[in-house]
Amino acid sequence: MVGREHRLEKDKDTYRILVLGDSITEHNWYVEKLEDKLNNSNPKLNYKFELWNGAAMGYQVNQCAAYLEYKGLRYDPDMVIIGFCLNDFDTQYWVFYKDKKGFTIFYNPARELFQIGEF
């Protein structure tokens, strides 16, 4: 983990957010700012927010998913945020997410564009 340390045992009034991603997230500047903002934004909230930064340089979406499956869920997060750039998608993987309309697929054609000289 990068940044602030938190106890593994979660208090009942704690809302824990696990943040995963690549080197941009690993630098931690926005993770700690978000934690501060959440904890200072509304004094009437009955939660203390903890943001755990499990990001690592070079991680792509598939590595974040593996980290979450094998390690991250042990930390009992209430929410998971994955911070990434479009270059973190490996085109051999299809990424699915669910929105109000159902499942949506994201496919990154970056490799094919590089091969045809668009960039």
94 and 79 within one domain: no
Q: State the pLDDT at residue 76.
A: 95
81 and 58 within one domain: yes
Query: What is the pTM (predicted TM-score) of this model?
Result: 0.71
Which of 10, 47, 12, 17 lies closest to 32 in space, CA to CA?
17
With the CA atoms of 22, 94, 51 and 53 taken in that order, what torsion angle do they form, in degrees rounded to the nearest 10? Answer: -30
Q: State the pLDDT at residue 60.
A: 79
- How far is Cα 15 from Cα 94, in angstroms, rounded to an integer? 30
Residue 3, SS3 per DSSP: coil
Which of 55, 52, 49, 48 lies closest to 21 in space, CA to CA?
55
DSSP state of 4: S
116 and 103 within one domain: yes
104 and 79 within one domain: no
User: Is residue 119 over pLDDT 50?
Assistant: no
Count of all residues that appear for the chain in the document: 119
pLDDT tens per residue across span 13-42: 999 999 998 888 898 889 999 999 999 988
